[in-house]
Amino acid sequence: MDVIQLLKKDHKMVKEMFKGFENLKGRAVQKKLDLITQIKHALTAHAQVEEELVYPAFKENRSMKEQVNEAVEEHHVTKMLLAELEELQPDDEHFDAKVKVLCEYLMHHVKEEEKEMFPEAQKRLSAKRLATLGEEVEARKNELMEGDEEEGENLRDDDGDMEDMQDMEEDEDSKVEIGKGSRSRQHAA
């Protein structure tokens, strides 16, 4: 799959996630949080592969330098919005509004990429170069997504460790109570 098709596929997936968020009714707090986490991971990996691999390849053509610089700045704003969302809880009165602004902003970015940048890249880069770039992007994105999964597993492991620590503390409390009881019995005897 060439890089343009791959990036458009990512764009479509993120659009669907935002639609899913819009369809959540009421106070589906955990579902909102889970979906925003998925969106964040997808956007982070997408932006990183664009910045590491795609944009440098596009910038090799001077005619695309300005478009790429603008796209990088749009990524910066997206990252700021994501960071602000992390500071909010889904039941915060500003959470849904911030998600909506993020969505609208990203749709603007996607439109510019798909209507302006990608057609320009297709004119300037060979089909072979676009295909090779697609393979590189797919491999790098898989690495990044695997890293996210491992990070999630580490978080789960940490939670397990925390539970183990709590169990140990409870056991220690029981030992202290048992010890106190036997001391009391010893003193009474």
3-class SS string, 101-127: HHHHHHHHHHHHHHHHHHHHHHHHCCH
Answer whether residue 121 is part of any domain: yes
- CA torsion 141-145-148-153 (nearest 10°) is -150
Number of domains in the chain: 1
* Exposure letters 4-41 (e unless 16+ CB within 10 A, then b): bebbbebbeebeebbeebeeeeeeeeeebeebbebbbb
Answer whether residue 168 is part of any domain: no
| Residue 110 CB contacts under 8 Å (≥ 6 apart), including other chains | 11, 14, 15
- State residue 176's pLDDT score: 38
Print the domain residue range for 72.
3-152
Answer whether residue 161 is part of any domain: no
The C-alpha atoms of residue 188 and residue 50 are separated, in whole angstroms, by 76
Q: Which of 111, 143, 129, 141 is nearest to 2 (CA)?
A: 129
Over its C-alpha atoms, the chain yields an Rg (Å, rounded) of 25
Answer whether residue 116 is part of any domain: yes
Answer whether residue 185 is part of any domain: no
The residue type of 106 is L
Answer whether residue 12 is part of any domain: yes
Answer whether residue 188 is part of any domain: no
Answer whether residue 164 is part of any domain: no
The DSSP letter of residue 25 is -
Per-residue pLDDT of the chain (189 residues; tens, 9 = 90+): 899 999 999 999 999 999 999 998 766 888 999 999 999 999 999 999 999 999 999 999 999 999 999 999 999 999 999 999 999 998 888 999 999 999 999 999 999 999 999 999 999 999 999 999 999 999 999 999 887 766 655 443 444 433 333 343 344 344 334 344 433 334 443
Enter the pTM of the model. 0.76
